[in-house]
A and B are shown apart, each in its own frame.
Chain A
Amino acid sequence: MTQKFEPVNPIKLSRRWFFEQCGVGVGAAALHSLLAESGYAAQVDPLAPKIPHFAPKAKNVIFLFMAGAPSHLEIFDNKPMLKKFDGTLPPAELLKGYRSAFINPNSKLLGPKFEFKKYGQSGAELTNLVPHLAEIVDDIAIVKGMVTDAFNHAPGQVLMNTGAMQFGRPSMGAWVTYGLGSESRDLPAFVVFSSGKKGPSGGSSCWGSGFLPTVYQGVEFRSAGDPVLYLSNPAGVDNQIQRESLDSIRKMNELHLGATGDPEIATRINSFEMAFRMQSSAPELMDITKESKETLELYGAEPGKASFANNCLLARRLVQRGTRFVQLYHEAWDQHSALVKDITQNCKDTDRAAAALIKDLKRTGLLDTTLVVWGGEFGRTPMVQGGEDGRDHHPNAFTMWMAGGGVKPGITLGESDELGFNVVEDKVHVHDLHATMLHLLGFEHTKLTYKFQGRPFRLTDVHGQLVPKLLA
């Protein structure tokens, strides 16, 4: 099974095949469809669709990465005792061996800032910061038992994305694309958006391909302007000149293919044709004016604006068009101070669109095959930072939610202790989350491997346990 996922050699396309099946001089579009539909594509293209280990529930992933680490205690994890002991010091035994980023761990406890209520048939508890999430609470699984190993942003984000704090490993989007290939012919398989006040702390390593072939790395899209770098024709070049130029390039490349017999030139011809198609498919993708008013309203998206809401809508449009993995970063959640004001604003900026994405995927039938994951790199301390309105980084307990793609809806899994400090039931480590995500995509996580430096590497490294309770 493992062998199946060794990299595919794009050079396997033999010259004989190219000439006999395609014929030099075949129109470019025809060439592409022959490549893609002849069944040969799997050998030519490292991004050709592949079949996972077993029948998958999810085909696509949308990961809403709430970078900066949202406070579980203000949104999901209701802790009356924390409220009761507000202003007192935490029990000493809790702090044994505990390392914190900014504060002296022995700081006073800070009661939750918002009131919790039960929502939906499932009765999940949420604060009024997320009224829209409350509407879809029966469609999601809330995972309260998350734990991680990192308590600084960059290592935390890189761990959440790659399964390791050390840089240089492939990201989950790269692993999934490596394992499943792409369903889209005209758009990248792994797309990344970023919104919020800052960029992701882990930088491009968050969506890097590590030691996997670079074709699996995430491609950054922008929600305004050219979605992909260098997509537009140069000034003064219309589509006619562009097409004529590309035809000449193709003709010259074909001549040279005939002269040298290197199938890599066929791949290059293919790349240029796909680039040309991307020049129209990417703007088409980005044109959300084609969406109904009601849909725009649902997300709170506004054409031409760069926002998390637009990105959520674009994520749905990408998945519709066969993109395998979409990741949306929204970096705004690092509330060391001004917790109440800033988390309120963040929820305003993201709650409606995130909930809209679930509603929209559900009504379009895509939710069944699209796994949506929401969460940050860690949680926030039950202890106060500064005066009385901030929390420090906290790796021992935090909350994420998942939906669609085979995730059991309407459940809350896991529990933290009475202060929201440690997980006491159904602990889900980042590695376990990865194992479960891969399972939903049809992979046994220990078998999706890539040999590098003499050993088979995997997203879950030497860890990870499937969380069966999350499966529908």
Chain B
Amino acid sequence: MLTPRLKSCAATAAVSLAALLGLRAQSKPDFNKDIRPIFETSCYSCHGEKVQSGGLRLDQKASALAHLTAGNSGASAIYLRVAGVGSQQKMPLGGAALTAAQVGLIKDWIDAGAGWADAPATSAVPKKKHWAFVAPVRPALPAVKNAKWVRNPIDRFVLAKLEAENVAPSGEAPKASLLRRLSLDLTGLPPTPEEVDAFVKDASPKAYEKQVERLLASPHYGEKWARQWLDGARYADSDGYEKDKPRFVWAYRDYVINAFNKNLAYDRFVSEQLAGDLMPNATQDQKVATGFLRNSMVNEEGGIDPEQFRMEAMYDRMDAVGKNILGVTIQCAQCHNHKYDPLQQEEYYRIFAFLNNSHEGAIAVYTPAEQMKISNILRRTKEIEAKIQQRNPAWQDGMARWEDAALRAPQPEWTVVKPEVDDISTGGQRYILQEDGSLLAQGYAPTKHTVKLTVKTPLKSVASVRLELLNDPNLPLGGPGRSIRGTGALSEFTLEAAPLNDATAKAQKVKVARATADINLPETPLDPMYGDKSTKKRMMGPIGFAIDGLDETAWGHDAGPGRRNVPQKAVFNLADPITNEGGSVITVYLKQNAGGWNSDDNQNQNLGRFRLAFSADAKASADPLPVAVREALAIAREKRSPLQTATIFGYYRTTVPEWKDDNATIEALWKEYPEGASQLVLNERSNVRETHQLTRGDFLQPGKLVTGGVPSFLNPLPTDGPVNRLAFAKWLVSRDAPTTARSYVNRLWLAYFGIGIVETAEDLGSQSSPPSHPELLDWLAVEFMDKGWDVKAIQRLIVNSATYRQNSVASEELQAKDPYNRLLARGPRFRVDGEIVRDIALSASGLLDTKIGGPSVNPPAPAFLFMPPTSYGPKVWNEAKGSERYRRALYTFRFRSVPYPMLQVFDSPNGEAACVRRSRSNTPLQALTTLNEPMFLETARALAQKTLNEAGAEDSQRLRFMFRRVLSREPSKVEADELLSLVGRERQNFSTAGRDPWKFAANDPEHPPTLAKNVTPEQAAAWTVVSRVLLNLDETITKE
């Protein structure tokens, strides 16, 4: 019997055929036979039971008939929209257009009176839920005949299928290949010849399992597996888009490495990345983890609307969560209901709402050693302060007197003003007015500009202007400036004024007589990181620099790490008050000139958030007390917290001359405060940002307001705790989440076997490719969760299986029957990822620097790549000297717009979007890279020299040494013959008179390396030819 679904398909097919045969006009269409199936397939997802876009329900007679004029298709919206007639967008939005035949049927149906008989009963039968949307249940292990072959449950599922297909599994791979496979899989590095020897010699029954444990415990395990996660996390070291500035996110990369090495449970791993900042007493690591969401690209080209690109970043985050964690395509629902999966557009925006309430800033992060140092500084400061207090039992009285005086000192009256920003003066930066009257600088950050701010004020007299620099969570390290340290600088403060109600009056310059600030640093030359290629002597220093008429001097507030990211203020007294009975138009110019020459390299020192205020007090001066102290003083003495009292004391002590030695000691301590690094993170906003469903995904067309929520076809949201990003994170990794565990074990499988159990690893939804072993996928997912989301445990299970340990040699029949190895009747064999291609060469040559973590490095690359017209703007690529050249490829600095050539050519993604399944191409450009790229040549030379220096004097010894380092196995007789004959010929070649072998064999022919006794440069060159051949073999860059 046909299922209802098949019936309707058959009906449609028949109708289309009829239409093709020109039978259409001869009989009027039947609603249930001809029209309803079209509505069902193409329209119900937006105009059906669940959603009624535009109020239209095509599954209900009354609603549908209200949108047409029976007998007149030309006056019927339903027909006009599907036909694409008129100015409105053609229906269905986002789906395949109806065929001409279908449109014709609808036309004829309406013209014939739009008859609508009630539906036959069958179409009410609910559709079966797609397998991946039902939580996995542990399946029973299937029975197999060849039980001896089975090592663990994985093998039962694989063998059951093989036996059903009448295919026998392959035998176990030779020990040397097996260890190379295992090492490449678990650490991304080939085994050393010694490791191979030890394994081959080990005859104990658990010899292999011992190797598994050794490699799982290796710190390189985290490096290998971090890379797969970073693909999905679209990790890169730059912003993307036109400016593509370097950004600081390597702390996140290190977090991922450490998480794998620590074997952080996957549910924890995911929830920290989604909401680590919201966890109770969040650690630095947990905050850094939220860098996952911040890996979106940022457009800071001139003239952008920051909100538009914040929204683009939001879509990117949604996509990354969908592909990388849920394993469900959710992107489609950005613009309309999902066409295939039961995801509604509103549900998309409800998930969106969870992610939409964050500031986008950067925090300072410190290594464990630096963290120790910081706590030491804080502890020592406290100790010294306690000693001062012990020595001076009356300190409280003294402080009270000082406080009273500070509170008594008259404060000028300030009127905060909200200036208008002149568009042309911003240099492309956006100044966004905040509720408190301050301006927040976002978007492109020019390195030099003078912003023009105009205030129309009713004040009759303005004698002083105050400029407050304020913190903001969206600024680097909280600001108050926009430099990567969160600092800013003011080169010149000037102003003009005119009467408010006199359009003819010309603005007059106003002289500033005096300026004060709460921070006045000593005059110091500008940090070279802001170099502008000029020969001018550029200085930073006290507030006087802002009114000295010199563009190359600036008032700065960089009091050093630990103390620079606090609010500051300056007050400017006018030489003559601006006095106009009817108020004034006052224009303030803030010249910000202390940046460098290259805005694409983080060289700005712009003010990040600031606020202006006016006063009639001509003698007003900047309050010398730091904002935090002033705020603490405002609280009644007995109501202050110990911290507030300590804050006041910390400032008060500096005013007491007798304590100057202690003050100096503390000051010296703080000079030691570590610089740390910076990391993009999320932090939650306190005033909740509203989220709207966006019509067609356009942020300029907000629709209805939505709140955080999850799709109804998946598991429900946990009910314990507030409905926020943390709840969403918990939901993703809840035990009843149908796709999360399946999606991740499938990706692990993909890394081992080259293809997932579900081939479309990014999408397990209804359009995904069917799983090759559905029960195995479910079994692994349940096992994963039951064992506490233990990533190493599930990998241990995979690599210990007989399935994994099979020989990868394919018989002719097997190759023909199963070219993609979907049946798993043999071991995996495929080219390793680009990073590992490079790491293998580095490792075999002995050059590899095994340091783990830290800032990304710049190995050799052609300089022109980073200069126009290849790069949009000039980029800094200071080629690493010494061993940093030879760090693992994981640490290579990744500019999104200019990918590192070797990695790009070997299919590494560039971080423009989440990638959970890499292409694996095989191209001539790859051949040119491994043959001729300087780094590969360096590895070939190093390997040859190492061989000549260490392997013994016989050519056969040398060949074996080299061969084993590259391929982890012994050469066969015929292989040895080929290569020994090559080395003989090349020795001849390089011995030709007039030929300098070092030209090829040395990185720097002027300074060739030292060779062992009796080794000649000709030998070095000849053996470099051989090592280059070995490093270029298919087998070398293949896991087999």
Contact = CB atoms under 8 A, between A and B. Distances in A.
Interface stretch (B200-208, B682-690, B782-790, B922-930): B922-930
Interface in B389-448: 423-424, 428
B978 interface: yes
B819 to A, nearest CB: 5
Contacts of B76: none
A205 B897 contact: yes
A232 B932 contact: yes
A230 B933 contact: yes
B978 A252 contact: yes
B340 A455 contact: yes
B765 A201 contact: no
Nearest to B932: A230
B302 interface: yes
Contacts of B730: none
B972 interface: yes
B304 A152 contact: yes
Contact of B303 (A152, A167, A209, A248): A152
Interface in B858-881: 862, 864, 868-873
B573 interface: no
B302 A101 contact: yes
Interface stretch (A120-128, A237-245, A432-440): A237-245
Interface in A307-351: 329, 331
B332 A274 contact: no
A103 B424 contact: yes
B737 to A, nearest CB: 19
Contacts of B1028: 245
Given A199-B871, A203-B897, A271-B926, A244 B982 contact: yes
A28 interface: no
A244 to B, nearest CB: 7
A234 interface: yes
Contact of B316 (A166, A222, A240, A275): A166
A253 interface: yes
A300 interface: no
- Secondary structure of the B contact surface, majority rule: loop
B975 interface: yes
A249 B1033 contact: yes
B922 A10 contact: yes
Given A152-B304, A241-B986, A392-B303, A213 B919 contact: yes
B1030 to A, nearest CB: 8
B241 A248 contact: no
A406 interface: no
A430 to B, nearest CB: 16
B424 A229 contact: no
Given A197-B869, A234-B937, A234-B1000, A203 B898 contact: yes
Interface in B919-962: 919, 921-929, 931-933, 937
A274 B1033 CA distance: 15
Nearest to B297: A167
Interface string B876-915: 0000000000000000000011110100100100101100
Nearest to B978: A251
B974 A236 contact: no
B1021 interface: yes
B924 A205 contact: no
A113 interface: no
B816 interface: yes
Interface residues of A, number: 94
Nearest to A103: B423
Contacts of B240: 154, 167, 203
B819 A12 contact: yes
A446 B307 CA distance: 32
B287 to A, nearest CB: 27
Contacts of B69: none
B339 interface: yes
Contact of A235 (B316, B341, B1000): B1000
Interface string A148-159: 000111110000
B864 A222 contact: yes
Measured as residues with beta carbon below 8 angstroms from the partner, the interface class of chain B is 35 or more
A338 B79 CA distance: 52
Interface in A1-47: 9-12, 14-16
Interface in B986-1028: 986, 989, 996-1001, 1005, 1021, 1025-1026, 1028
B725 to A, nearest CB: 23
A168 B1029 contact: no
B500 interface: no
Interface string B830-848: 1100000000000000000
Nearest to A256: B1035
Contacts of B932: 230-234
Interface in A93-112: 99-104
Nearest to A259: B809
A260 B301 contact: no
B928 A275 contact: yes
B776 interface: no
A154 B423 contact: no
- For B810, B912, B933, which residue has the most chain A Cβ atoms within 10 angstroms? B912
A272 B901 CA distance: 18
Interface stretch (A50-58, A73-81, A135-143, A261-269): A261-269
A386 B427 CA distance: 11
A285 to B, nearest CB: 14
Interface in A50-88: none
B1025 A462 contact: no
Contacts of A153: 242, 301
Contacts of B1035: 252-253, 256
B1000 A236 contact: yes
Contacts of A393: 303
Given A167-B297, A231-B932, A244-B985, A203 B815 contact: no
B937 A252 contact: no
A128 B1026 CA distance: 62
A253 B297 CA distance: 42
Nearest to B918: A214
A451 to B, nearest CB: 8
A38 B242 CA distance: 46
A334 B928 CA distance: 37
Contacts of A15: 810, 812, 815
B820 A152 contact: no
A5 to B, nearest CB: 16
B923 A215 contact: yes
B708 to A, nearest CB: 24
Contact of A228 (B305, B767, B896, B928): B928
A198 interface: yes
Nearest to B329: A453
A153 B241 CA distance: 9
A262 B1040 CA distance: 10
B982 A11 contact: no
A230 B831 CA distance: 21
A249 B1032 contact: yes
B872 A102 contact: no
A196 B95 contact: no
B552 interface: no
B912 A215 contact: no
A259 B1033 CA distance: 14
B450 interface: no
B316 A454 contact: no
A236 B999 contact: yes
Contacts of B244: 203
Contact of A255 (B768, B810, B868, B972): B972
B935 to A, nearest CB: 10
A220 interface: yes
B794 interface: no
B467 to A, nearest CB: 25
11 contacts: A100-B303, A103-B423, A200-B872, A201-B242, A236-B997, A244-B982, A256-B1035, A261-B812, A274-B927, A279-B928, A453-B323
Nearest first, the 8 A-B pairs at minimum CB distance are: A203-B897, A101-B303, A236-B1000, A168-B913, A454-B767, A236-B999, A201-B242, A275-B927
Given A220-B870, A248-B978, 15 more contacts: A12-B819, A101-B303, A104-B423, A152-B301, A203-B241, A203-B242, A229-B925, A230-B933, A236-B999, A241-B989, A252-B979, A260-B808, A262-B829, A331-B872, A455-B332
